[in-house]
């Protein structure tokens, strides 16, 4: 499906525009496109994949840069080697900061999960010991 791939490359706005045009020209086509867009998860603002799709695009651009095809948009390099080195170093530093931030968020989530679990276990232990010390009524 080269059309679907091209629209995915253009982003969510292209899918929205095509859906609107579908409604304008023939409403069942617009309805079908709307259903497809939601079902396939292409509306990234609602499916939680928005960040991973953005990161995948960044990876593709990074690969393009590594292959030497110039800057992010496929244009040739600046021609100034010092600037190209500076840009590459800045991108490397930003990627490192992104990795560190992701690690920080993961540690934060883990600490929160552990605190919630510890609280649950403490409450559970408190309930079970209270159940043992209460006399049974019969």
More confident residue, 97 or 24: 97
Quick one: pLDDT band at residue 100, thresholds 50, 70, 90? very high
What's the CA gap between 138 and 132, in Å, rounded?
A: 15
pTM for the full predicted model? 0.39
Please give the helix or strand (H or E) that residue 102 lies within, else none. helix 81-133
Quick one: pLDDT band at residue 56, thresholds 50, 70, 90? confident
Quick one: pLDDT band at residue 112, thresholds 50, 70, 90? very high
What's the CA gap between 109 and 107, in Å, rounded?
A: 5
Quick one: pLDDT band at residue 103, thresholds 50, 70, 90? very high
The reported pLDDT for the residue numbered 44 is: 55
């Amino acid at each position: 499906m080269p059309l679907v791939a091209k629209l995915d490359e253009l982003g969510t706005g292209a899918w929205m525009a095509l859906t609107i045009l579908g409604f304008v020209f023939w409403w069942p086509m617009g309805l079908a496109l709307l259903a497809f867009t939601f079902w396939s998860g292409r509306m990234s603002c609602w499916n939680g994949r928005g960040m991973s799709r953005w990161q995948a695009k960044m990876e593709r651009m990074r690969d393009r840069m590594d292959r030497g095809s110039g800057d992010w948009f496929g244009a040739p390099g600046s021609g100034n080697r010092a600037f190209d080195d500076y840009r590459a170093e800045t991108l490397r530093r930003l990627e490192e900061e992104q990795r560190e931030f992701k690690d920080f968020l993961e540690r934060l989530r883990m600490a929160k999960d552990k605190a919630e679990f510890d609280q649950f276990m403490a409450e559970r232990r408190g309930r079970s010991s209270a159940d043992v010390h209460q006399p049974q009524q019969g």
